[in-house]
Structure 1
Amino acid sequence: MSLLTFGDIKTAADRITGQIRPVTVAPVDSDALPGHIWLALEFMQHTGSFKARGAANFISAHLDAGTLPDTGVTIASGGNAGLACAWAAGRQGVRATVFLPQTAPEVKVAKLRGYGADVRLVGAEYAEALAACEEFAATTGALASHAYDHPLIAAGAGTLVDEIRHQVPGLDTVVVAVGGGGLFAGVATAAHHHGVRVVAVEPARCRALNAAIEAKQVVDVEIDSVAADSLGARRTSTMALQAARQGDMRSLLVPDEEILRAREMLWDHRRLAVEHGAATALAALTGGVYTPGEEETVAVVLCGANTNPCTLAG
């Protein structure tokens, strides 16, 4: 696979302008965390996560090229990528068939069906849903999208960085949660172009990118985390590992207890109901795994909010 470039991200930005919502940013109270911290509220994006960016780019690029078959598009997902694919396809009148593990949160399944997708629940984890999706694509001719391992998907996700930079002058660091690595690959590529540091945060028991960096190649990992529904890829993409080798980048792990605490803090102090995967990025700061310098300007990407708010304290 060729290396993702900043040119790919600029092309994606031009292609999806007007289709997606520009990210909103909000400062964190100065007494809450050291440094100058901003929250990038990407969970306010269409479908409730950053995934809408990549999906819009993927569908639009294939429409422009005339490569969308009558059988539509299909994708395997922990939930958010499927929602984004179904949303982007539906906007263009394209059929979407989405494969999810049987463990996918009901809130995501219900939203998918609300977008008009044909939802199929297969297996206990993402890898099994992916195998079923690949078989479906092979037998029907449907265009296979991917939750994270595709340059069009990653390039769309990377459009987030320039939007943050335009609102946060002097941005030094972007902190982002990592699952399969689509968001990370796009963000890291754009950040490297601008000389911005990237802090990649994963649950300690859901560490596909961290393990790949350690092994210097893509490897399979065990998945056992409260954030597994959105960050539970068994392996990262080669594209993400390539991106991790560029620029100023740190790979950090946080325990589930800190993810839960960060999620509760967002609700208690801001009334922001985000999913565990989104809280993972913030957990690096609230848990002391990453401590910004006093003058460091940091943006923490809150990437999704397709969660059950009833699981938050009152």
Structure 2
Amino acid sequence: MEKHLDHAAIRAAAARIAGHVRPVSVVPAAEGTWYALEHLQHTGSFKARGARNFLAAHAAAGALPGAGVTIASGGNAGLACAWAARDLGVPATVFLPATAPPVKIERLYRYGADVRLTGDRYAEALAACQEFAADSGALLSHAYDHPLIAAGAGTVLEEIRTALPGLDTVVVAVGGGGLFAGVATAAREHGVRVVAAEPEDCRALHAALEAGRVVDVPVRSVASDSLGATRVSRDALDAARLGRTHSVLVPDTAITEARHALWEEHRLVVEAGAATALAAVRTAPEPLGDRVAVLLCGANTDPSDLMS
């Protein structure tokens, strides 16, 4: 198994997950801009790539225990982990706060997960998950901070390049940094510029770049359900420093407007985190490139507010 995030790890991930994830569709949106429709991925987000790669790598190495896998996440990572575990025929135990949205709890059950509602905060669910892993021997997964998770996510950039020859810029929303780290690592190999988009009040990567180290940040945003990490991964910070990365912040109003625009103009339903990438394009003072791919990374959202 790869222990470091580099382009070789992304190539290995692509081989492992081939035939098990949906290749991303890339469609024209406006002059010079294309949408990468990763929100159509299994489980409704890019997280399926990393989860499948993580479990498949451990299975191939004989390191997938009988107790299966466990993760603390009531969001997209938990759904992806449960889906990948079901696909590989191993148990998945998912810890999440009792305050998690019922729709996500129901989907976890549909994926066959053992759902454990613990406390009212993510930190309580995480502590219980870690204790369970230690006691049961289950493999402890992470929502974003693991090289196998990030490498799996990075495979989407390779597919976007294949679908869009001459790609010069990719715009990606950043939360904890798993998607960004993988995409930026692959982009560096090909000389592609990465625009890292974050909400103004949910800026883990931006703050780390300013401080020169990983730091904790407050989380207050309409997109915090998917981008609300209090700190970015070290791999993400390293990828931002090494590659052609431009970090931008966008206000919540722009994120909401971008999400509505995707529905009104294209009938695309995405979560606020995915709309953050488009918000960066719409608020940019000048074009971000000649051939720009906007990565729409997730669709686990309630669409009722879009259809009034």
Query: What aligned pairs does 1:73-152 form with structure 2 within 5 A after superposition?
Result: 73-152=69-148
Counterpart position of 2:29: 28
Runs (5+) with no aligned partner, structure 2: none
Q: Which amino acid aligns with 1:304?
A: G
Q: Aligned with 1:60: secondary structure? A: helix
String of CA shifts for 1:4-47, please: whole Å, max 9, x gaps.
Answer: 110000000011100111000111133xxxxx000000011111
Is 1:176–1:184's contact at 8 Å kept on the other side of the alignment? yes
Stretches of structure 1 that go unaligned for 5 or more consecutive residues are 31-35
Q: Counterpart in 1 of 2:295?
A: 301
1:209 maps to which residue? 205
How far apart are residue 58 of structure 1 and its match?
0.7
Distance across 2 between alignment mates of 1:248 and 1:2? 23
Trace 1:1-314 onto structure 2 (pairs within 5 A): 3-30=4-31, 36-286=32-282, 288-289=283-284, 291-292=286-287, 296-314=290-308
Pick closer, same or farther for the CA change 1:201–1:181 going to 2, 3 Å.
same
Partner of 1:33: none
CA spacing shift, 1:142–1:64, aligned 2, 3 Å: same
> Is the Cα–Cα contact under 8 Å of residues 216 and 231 in structure 2 kept in the other structure?
yes
Which amino acid in structure 1 is aligned with residue 24 of structure 2? V
Q: Give deviations 1:83-126, integer Å, cap 9, x for gaps.
A: 11000000111100112234433322211111011122334444
Alpha-carbon shift at residue 172 of structure 1 (Å): 0.5
Q: TM-score, normalised by structure 1?
A: 0.94
Output the CA distance in 2 between the equivalents of 1:105 and 1:289. 33
Amino acid at match of 1:29: A
Partner deviation per Cα, 1:131-165 (whole Å, 9 max, x = no partner)? 22212211221100110000100000000011000
Q: Aligned-pair distance for 1:247?
A: 1.9
Distance of aligned partners of 1:105 and 1:283 in 2 relative to their CA distance in 1, 3 Å threshold: farther
Compared CA separation, residues 173 and 245, structure 1 to 2 (3 A): same
CA contact (8 A) 2:3 2:148 kept: no
Residue 3 of structure 1: CA displacement?
Answer: 4.8
Count residues in correspondence: 307
Amino acid of the residue matched to residue 296 of structure 1?
D
Structure 1 residue ranges (4+ consecutive) displaced by more than 6 angstroms after TM superposition:
none
Distance 1:130 1:79 in 2: 13
Q: Following the alignment from structure 1 to structure 2, what is the Cα–Cα distance between the partners of residues 185 and 270?
A: 29
SS at match of 1:211: helix
> Structure 1 residues 298, 124: closer, same or farther in 2, change over 3 A?
farther
**Structural RMSD (CA):** 1.6
Contact persistence 2:174–2:196 (CA under 8 A) = yes
Sequence identity percentage: 66
The residue identity in structure 1 corresponding to 2:243 is G
> Hey, what's the Cα distance between the residues in 2 that align with 1:174 and 1:163?
12
**SS at structure 1 position matched to 2:242:** coil
Given that 1:107 and 1:307 are in contact with CA atoms closer than 8 Å, whether structure 2 keeps it comes out as no
User: Alignment partner of 1:156: what SS?
Assistant: helix
Deviations 1:183-210 (A, max 9, x none): 0000000000000000111111111111
- TM-score, normalised to structure 2, is 0.96
CA contact (8 A) 2:74 2:105 kept: no
Q: 1:173 to 1:46 in 2, by over 3 A?
A: same
Pairwise CA distance, 1:312: 1.4
